Structures are given as structure tokens and as C-alpha cells.
Amino acid sequence: MWGRQHAAVPLGVVDVGSNTVRLLVAEHGKPILSLRESAGLGAYIERDGVVPAAKLAETALHVRGFVDAAARAGATDVEVLITSPGRQAANGTELRDAIAEATTAPVRILSAQEEGRLAFVGALGSVHLPSRRRVAVVDVGGGSSQIVIGSGREGITWSGTIDLGSRRLTSRLLSRNPPANGDLAAARAEVDGLLAGLDLPDVRSALVVGGSARALKRLVGGRLGREELEYALGVLGHTTAADLVDHYDVNPARAEILPAGATILAALQHRLDTPLRVVRSGLREGALGELSARRQAA
């Protein structure tokens, strides 16, 4: 797990998501370089079902720049992971191929299960919990949301996903800024409808990763329990994206989709019936831990 098993040289992971492209380079388990670039792929996919050719080329250039930056930081191995855009776009394989042609780093599209597993590994490896405690790890992305349950001793025992994330929900029901009367209620009904088919096991603790969770933690000042999330939704229901940037130090791209992220997290917190503890380590850290383990085993 992240924090317990590391290579002696820097390693890098590029994460191509619906909202952003991100790079993380770490050495001995400690981050030495972190970069991000807004991508906005999810908006195109939700509207048209595909990533347009110009956006394919732009994303490939971003990834190539990040792989080059990782090499300059000393990373000997860099892996490129495509999350929901690769699964949801009709031309997801074209996105993968465009990136593969632009760089020598290996590129693969993650399944929803792989994405959840890596988030679980990264999150659980960053905290100290009893090894037998059953914990949920929640990862709300731009295009999909994963819930993975397990323990340090048993590993993953249950996982589920909904094909809806903060960008997709914004495009469907929360495009007005701020949301109009009834928008948040309609969005919550959409999320609850998708969650109805998931039979979540009981858990003792819940961890949450991702940009929406980190932004909400700044807004409410701590954990994301029911009261805190209700408060956040109350604020988001009448606050413009510009005011979120000015008053709460939310990234401009994140501010546009934060009401949707908060809606999904509130629905998941209600189903899990335990506060969500925000942690910074997730998919990229989990991927780096596995890349390190593969390197050591070679």
C-alpha cells in the first residue's frame, strides 16, 4: 500500500479524468512533483458522446508534457491511466491511441472496478485504522463515482459504481449558476435513483478522495457528515461559482461543478450512514504503490 512499499527512484502516474489531467511523481513514497491541467473532456462526452478531434490532440499534448516533466524530475517509470473518459466516450480508444502516439509511456483505460481498487489502496494506505475495521472509500470523479468497501486485513470485499460524476450531473441538471429553485432536489433524485440498485454493506468508517471532497472540506471546515453536507448544499444553492472562488478559495473549474459533487457525496454519505473523512491520497497514490511493487518484483 501507499506509504509502506516504495521504489528507490522516482515514479510517475498521469491520470486523465473527465475534469482534469494530473501528474504525480513520488520518490520513497513522498510527492516531489504534482501538476494539473483542466481538460473538460466530460462536458463534451455528456453533450456529444465523443471527444472532438481537437480535444484529443490537446489532451495528448498535455499528457506528453507531463510525461516529459516527470522524466526531468528523475522518474524512471511513468504510467498513463485514463479513467471515465475512456469508458464513456464512444471514441475512448481513439483517446487512448492519441495519447499513446504522443508519448512512449504505457497507456491504459481503467475499468470502473480498477479505478475504485486503486483509490481504495491509495486512501487506506494513507491512514492508520485497525486492520480488521471495515471501511468504505468513496471517489467521486467527473464522469463516474466509485464506492469500495473492505479492510486492511481482508482487502476489498465489495465494490460498486454509478455512471454519474460531478461533471455529468452538472451538464444534466445543474448548469445554472447558482442552481435555481428545485435544481438541487432534482439532482439528488437522479443520484438516489442510481444508488437504489446498490446494496451497500455496513461500515465502521468512510474515507473520501477527490477534488470535490477537498473543496467541501475547506467550505465546511472539517469532516463531511450529514449536517456539514446539508450546510454546504445550502451555501452552494445561492452562491455563484465566482463567489466560491473569491470567498472559499475554490479552483474556478471546480467551483462550476461543486454543487453536483456535493449532491453526490451527500447521497452517498446518507447511504453509508457515517461521516466521510477527507484524505488526499487516492487513485494516483494507489497506482504509484502498485507500480513500485511491480518494479521491486521484476
Q: What is the pLDDT of residues 14-56, one digit of tens each?
A: 999 998 999 999 998 899 999 999 989 999 999 999 999 999 9
% residues pLDDT > 70 (the chain)? 97
For residues 151 and 131, the answer to whether their CB atoms sit within 8 Å is: yes
Task: Specify the amino acid at residue 202.
Answer: D
Is pTM beyond 0.85? Reply is yes
Q: Locate 190 and state its grid cell.
A: 437522479
Is 48 exposed, middle or buried (CB count within 10 Å of its CB: 0-12, 13-18, 19+)? exposed
The phi, psi pair for 148, rounded to 5°, reads: -125, 135
Residue 155 φ/ψ region, left for φ over 0, alpha for ψ in the -120 to 50 degree band, beta for the rest = left
**What pLDDT sits at residue 106?**
97
CA atoms of 254 and 190, how far apart (whole Å): 21
Cell numbers 491509495: residue: 122
Asked if pLDDT for residue 3 goes beyond 70, the answer is: no
**What pLDDT sits at residue 297?**
82
Q: Which residue has the higher pLDDT, 297 or 259?
A: 259
For residues 3 and 126, the answer to whether their CB atoms sit within 8 Å is: yes
Query: Domain-by-domain residue ranges, the chain?
Result: 11-112, 128-278
**What pLDDT sits at residue 165?**
96
CA atoms of 76 and 121, how far apart (whole Å): 22
Residue 3 φ/ψ region, left for φ over 0, alpha for ψ in the -120 to 50 degree band, beta for the rest = left
CA atoms of 63 and 67, how far apart (whole Å): 6
CA atoms of 52 and 39, how far apart (whole Å): 12
Is 178 exposed, middle or buried (CB count within 10 Å of its CB: 0-12, 13-18, 19+)? middle
Q: Locate 110 and state its grid cell.
A: 481503467
Cell numbers 494506505: residue: 125
128-278 folds as Nucleotidyltransferase; domain 5 (3.30.420)
Q: Locate 28 and state its grid cell.
A: 520513497
Chain CA centroid to CA 90, Å: 21
3-class SS at 138? strand
Chain CA centroid to CA 176, Å: 23
The model's pLDDT over 199-228, given as tens digits with 9 standing for 90+, comes to: 999 999 999 999 999 999 999 988 999 999
Superfamily of domain 11-112: ATPase, nucleotide binding domain (3.30.420.40)
Nearest to 5 by CA among 288, 280, 298: 288
Check if 11-112 and 128-278 are the same fold: yes
